[in-house]
């Protein structure tokens, strides 16, 4: 009986640890996305203000910095996705053990999500939107430098 209690305690500890890692990574990802939106909005406002003030050189550099911030965000978002994937490995195993132990197949949540076809995953949407934003800012930089 003591061995079973110890195994259950270890499983609970492992679940709590893996879930804390996953939750921390997900929260970090949301905070990054919010910060990215603020950076893009701020750069956009600075670019428009510089264009209206006929400071085309300044506007060009603001747009280049905005495009660079998009690239940095893409790199950080990829790192955050890797951290989530790292946490999902033990969670998937723990969910499988719990599903088998309790006879509840629906507990295999990560397995069901990760087995979805690639086109149904949403990471390509974020990457595509970042590509569009970077292209807009690079085009804006070219416009500003052409008129300086």
pLDDT-based confidence at residue 53 (cuts at 50, 70, 90): very high
Is pLDDT of 139 > 80? yes
Distance separating alpha carbons of residues 43 and 16, to the nearest angstrom: 40
Average the pLDDT over 66-92 and give the result.
89
Q: Helix, strand, or coil here: 54?
A: coil
pLDDT for the residue 47: 96
Q: What is the pTM for the complete model shown?
A: 0.76
On the CB side of 23, CA atoms within 13 Å amount to: 6
Is pLDDT of 96 > 70? yes
Tokens of 132: 């569009």
pLDDT for the residue 91: 87
**Among 145, 115, 134, residue whose Cα is nearest residue 69:** 134
Average the pLDDT over 121-129 and give the result.
77
Query: Over pLDDT 70: what percentage of the chain?
Result: 93
Exposure letters 75-112 (e unless 16+ CB within 10 A, then b)? ebbeebeebbeebbebbbebbeeebeeeeeeebbebbe
Tokens of 98: 């719990």
Distance separating alpha carbons of residues 18 and 87, to the nearest angstrom: 6
pLDDT for the residue 54: 96
* Tens of pLDDT, residues 112-124: 877 766 655 667 7
């Amino acid at each position: 009986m003591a061995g079973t209690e110890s195994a259950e305690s270890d499983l609970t500890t492992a679940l709590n640890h893996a879930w804390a890692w996953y939750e921390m990574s997900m929260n970090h990802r949301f905070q990054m996305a919010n910060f990215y939106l603020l950076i893009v909005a701020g750069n956009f406002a600075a670019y428009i203000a510089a264009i209206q003030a006929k400071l085309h050189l300044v506007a060009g550099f603001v747009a280049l910095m905005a495009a660079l911030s998009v690239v940095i965000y893409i790199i950080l978002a990829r790192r955050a996705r890797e951290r989530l994937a790292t946490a999902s490995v033990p969670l998937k195993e723990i969910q499988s053990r719990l599903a088998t132990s309790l006879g509840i197949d629906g507990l295999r949540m990560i397995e069901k999500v990760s087995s979805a076809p690639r086109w149904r995953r949403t990471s390509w949407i974020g990457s595509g939107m970042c590509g569009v934003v970077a292209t807009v800012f690079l085009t804006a930089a070219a416009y500003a430098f052409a008129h300086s």
